[in-house]
Amino acid sequence: MSRIPSKWPELVTLFRSRNFLLLWLGQLFSQGGDRFAQLFLIALAASRAAGSTWGLAKVLAATALPALLLNPIAGVYVDRWDRKRTMITCDLIRVGVILTFPALAALSNPLPLYGAVFLLFAVSAFFIPARLAIIPDLVPADRLNKANALFAVSGMVGSAVIILIGSLILEWLGLFKSAIVNALFFVGSAASLWPVQGGRGHRTPSAAGTPESPRRIFHEVWEGIVALWRHPPTHRAMALLGLLMAGGGATIVVGAVMIQQTWGSVTKDIGFLSLWYGIGIFAGTMAYGRWESDLPRRAALALAFLGAGLSLAGWVGAVRILASPAAASIATAALGFWSAPVGVIVNTMVHEGHPERLHGRVFSSFGVVVNVALVVSMLGAGWLTEAGGRGRLLVGVAGLFLLAAVAIGIGARSPEPPSGEPG
């Protein structure tokens, strides 16, 4: 019994580092701002084409396109720029962009608003790899797994809470006034990051102002892709995360419309279920942080996909058949619980498997896979279910998760390669 609580202080002691705490808070504000902006778009899409999965899919896919196009290039520059300054600059630009939303949303032509949305998430394409790459600068190598676990909490639980708050703000204040609140989250992120010490990145001659040729930029982008592919544990993990994110993309589009049609609200019920998802993420992350040293990574991944598949199938039944908020909340929390370890494991494997000087471009290349999976799954799910069959599609996604669990379980019978080594 004495071993059970002994791991918990190890997670909490990370917050004794002032730099880690400030970075964690900045992540909380920043991802909250991104999620608020996405919720804004969900409400906007519902106001223009209620019940359309295809319309919602196009809007949400547009938020992932900037990262898909810019992530590899962003990583090259993140590896030579001061990472803290990069994140603060991104936050300040996003404040300005968000404040244009009220005027742009009032226009009959949606293209200017979509252009602002593209710019907002294009800036995020630089913020995210900078944040991921700065973690090893602030945390000892033997605590990276726990640091990634706590960042998963800030990214998922914090976002879930913000989605709940944002959903209520949107329904109370409307689309226009809520944009001001959205901007305040990015102000909070910049203020949290300002005192952080460290994260200067891998300095090169270009950092001093030497112009870069397109050929050199392409070479470094390609270097990040090759580094990912030459490390088998990393590209296996990349495939699993891509599957999880593809399933998540389909679930976001189809699930949001199912929730709106079942309970009749635009964002409120989405917000409450997102909170339960965040609770599940928190519990799953802390549970994995407690037992990760006792559980092989492959076994943890197999359990994660098994639980996620069963939970998603249960969620469809709770929403489509039972129309029960309580049952849907339980299933949503379970889905978050079982999904949580995947991101923690994958981020840690990338940190362990590649040198610090490549972290920015490696995480950017990694982001390409994630965003391709998101864009394709959102558009595909939206198009396939525009006329119906939404519950059946999500049950199919659950089946893919279960098949992945079986495949990982079979592979787990062979010895695992040491962390950070190809195998």
Least Cα distance to 236 among 89, 44, 411 occurs for 411
| Residue 7 is assigned to a structural domain of this protein | no
| Residue 43 is assigned to a structural domain of this protein | yes
The predicted-structure confidence for 183-207, as pLDDT tens digits, reads as follows 999 999 999 999 887 655 554 444 4
| Residue 207 is assigned to a structural domain of this protein | no
Q: Which domain holds residue 72?
A: 13-202+212-411
Summarize the confidence of residues 67-72 as an average pLDDT: 77
**Most confidently modeled range among 71-75, 121-125, 414-418:** 121-125
pLDDT above 80: residue 416: no
Q: How far apart are CA 249 and CA 227, in angstroms?
A: 27
Q: How far apart are CA 370 and CA 241, in angstroms?
A: 7
| Residue 153 is assigned to a structural domain of this protein | yes
Summarize the confidence of residues 146-167 as an average pLDDT: 76
What pLDDT is attached to residue 200? 57
Measured in whole angstroms, how far is the alpha carbon of residue 79 from the centre of its chain? 21
| Residue 423 is assigned to a structural domain of this protein | no
| Residue 73 is assigned to a structural domain of this protein | yes
The predicted-structure confidence for 282-341, as pLDDT tens digits, reads as follows 899 888 878 877 888 889 999 999 999 999 999 999 999 999 999 999 999 999 999 989
Model confidence at 360, pLDDT cuts 50, 70, 90, reads: low
Judged by DSSP in three states, 323 sits in coil
Lowest mean pLDDT among 139-143, 309-313, 324-328, 353-357: 353-357
Model confidence at 89, pLDDT cuts 50, 70, 90, reads: very high
pLDDT above 90: residue 259: yes
**Side chain identity at residue 323, one-letter code:** A
301 vs 161, more confident: 301
Q: Which residue has the tokens 């392409």?
A: 218
What pLDDT is attached to residue 418? 47
Measured in whole angstroms, how far is the alpha carbon of residue 321 from the centre of its chain? 29
pLDDT above 90: residue 88: yes
212 vs 240, more confident: 240
| Residue 233 is assigned to a structural domain of this protein | yes
CA atoms within 13 A on the CB side of 84: 17
Q: How far apart are CA 223 and CA 108, in angstroms?
A: 44
Q: Which residue has the tokens 């394709």?
A: 376
pLDDT above 60: residue 16: yes
Q: What is the pTM of this model?
A: 0.77
Lowest mean pLDDT among 5-14, 120-129, 194-203, 291-300: 5-14
pLDDT above 90: residue 104: no
| Phi, psi dihedral angles at 386 (to 5 degrees) | -60, -35
Average pLDDT score, the chain: 82
- Residue 338 sits in a domain whose CATH number is 1.20.1250.20
- The kind and range of the H/E element at 358 are none
263 vs 215, more confident: 263
Summarize the confidence of residues 126-143 as an average pLDDT: 82
Total of domains in the chain: 1
The predicted-structure confidence for 363-403, as pLDDT tens digits, reads as follows 767 777 788 889 999 999 999 999 889 999 999 999 999 99
What pLDDT is attached to residue 46? 84
Q: How far apart are CA 322 and CA 333, in angstroms?
A: 17
**Side chain identity at residue 123, one-letter code:** V
179-183 contact pairs (CB < 8 A, 24+): 179/40, 179/98, 179/99, 179/101, 179/102, 179/105, 180/99, 180/102, 181/36, 182/33, 182/36, 182/37, 182/40, 182/98, 182/101, 183/33, 183/94, 183/95, 183/98, 183/99
| Residue 422 is assigned to a structural domain of this protein | no
236 vs 305, more confident: 305
pLDDT above 70: residue 281: yes
pLDDT above 50: residue 3: no
pLDDT above 90: residue 411: no
* pLDDT over 70, % of the chain: 85
